[in-house]
Amino acid sequence: MSEELNPFEIAQKQLDAAAAIMQLEPALHELLRWPIRELHVTLPVRMDDGSTEIFHGYRVQYNDSRGPTKGGLRFHPHETIDTVRALAAWMTWKTAVMDIPLGGGKGGIICNPKVMSPGELERLSRAYIRQVGRILGEDMDVPAPDVYTTPQIMAWMMDEYAFMRGHNVPGVITGKPLPLGGSAGRGDATARGGMTCVREAAKLLGLATAGATMAIQGFGNAGQYAAILGAELLGMRIAAVSDSQGGVYNPAGLDPAALIVHKLETGSVVGFPEGDAVTNAELLELDVDVLAPAALENQITAENAARIKAKIVAELANGPTTPDADAVLYDGQHYVIPDFLCNAGGVTVSYFEQVQNAYGYYWKEAQVHELLDEKMTTAFQAVAQTADDYHIDNRMAAYIVAVGRVAEACKLRGWV
């Protein structure tokens, strides 16, 4: 039988496994398997050539028992409602495992931003807010950047929402440019939080990070900062990186700054002169100490999991490992840092941004870094302790920590 790769069914399957261990009562389990609400929208957008193109988008608010929903917004040509549902579910568990007072949400628009002009992207962004803005708000649901969305796109969306409300509302969107109420430290937050988790995992394993090798699949925002911070903070050698077009490998180490310049100039890491060509599939199986999947879902599957050699798998992407692959990796040879813990630095600093917006006082970058390190370390230790207590893998441990907190909030509210 072929492996299930529908992201929402994977998210439900992961929850089901945790619910069985926790012995959740049936009504509560069923409540947590589904989004509380979702909105589907159709967006007519005038293109630069004068034609009108019709786009489709979504906003899913998965669970708001612990606070307003929070989650990114993706622009992607292959976006699906089930992907958005899964990401909203994982965001629910992510905010809970970090113990911040938010729920989980996610949004997406089916489009190819790579072939759209800035004007077209702005009109699409504003059209989305005109439709979805009715369910957004600082105390309702707060979007943020995700795949192929940027601080500039967030600025347009915030401005459109402010126009609808008739006054400035900086806290309705996070990941904004600094002059519009963004937070210092937001740009590298996802990668920084992930590297904090790698540091803590290495301590548990007795692995020295200085000189250790790391391969990064996906060289967007999170992947680029992971390369920089992995080298700067942990002393690691970046042995390989890849993007959607392919990758480059040099076991002696690649220069992250030079790689970023090469990608800016050429559009890809492919052809970087200081390494050999490697495919995305080959990169996953390289003999490195740390593997950081930082691209899209379902990259490590039952088909290739047995060939993963990395001691630590740091999931900077959402859902990069399937449940069948988890079973293979949970063998004592691999230490998996699950996605909704490993990449939670982004939403944590987004929460910091909401706090700063709310009282109009902004923190210095060093303070943001210090608070993020503290939150990530505490969350990592809670998950590691739960894994040890229950004799389970880290993903199930993260679920037990997170689901337990959401379940408690649902019960206290009298929902079940």
Q: Provide the annotated active-site residues.
A: 106
Q: Measure the CA–CA gap between 37 and 55, rounded to whole angstroms.
A: 21
Tell me how long the chain is: 416
DSSP per position, 16-63: HHHHHHHT--HHHHHHHTS-SEEEEEEEEEE-TTS-EEEEEEEEEEEE
Structure tokens that stand for 141 in this block: 């649901």
Query: 235: helix, coil or strand?
Result: coil
- Other C-beta atoms closer than 10 Å to the C-beta of 257 total 12
**How far out from the chain centre does Cα 197 lie?**
14
52-63 and 37-46 as β-strands: parallel, antiparallel, unpaired? antiparallel
User: Cα separation of 175 and 310, whole Å?
Assistant: 32
CA-only gyration radius of the chain, Å? 20
**Rounded to an integer, what distance in angstroms lies between the CA atom of residue 25 and that of residue 316?**
32
What does DSSP say about strands 52-63 and 103-110: parallel, antiparallel, or unpaired? antiparallel
Measured distance CA(229)–CA(90) in Å, rounded? 25
Contact by Cβ (8 Å): 59, 367: no
Lookup: tokens for 94:
């992510």
CA dist., res. 246 & res. 202, Å (int): 28
* DSSP secondary structure letter of residue 243: E
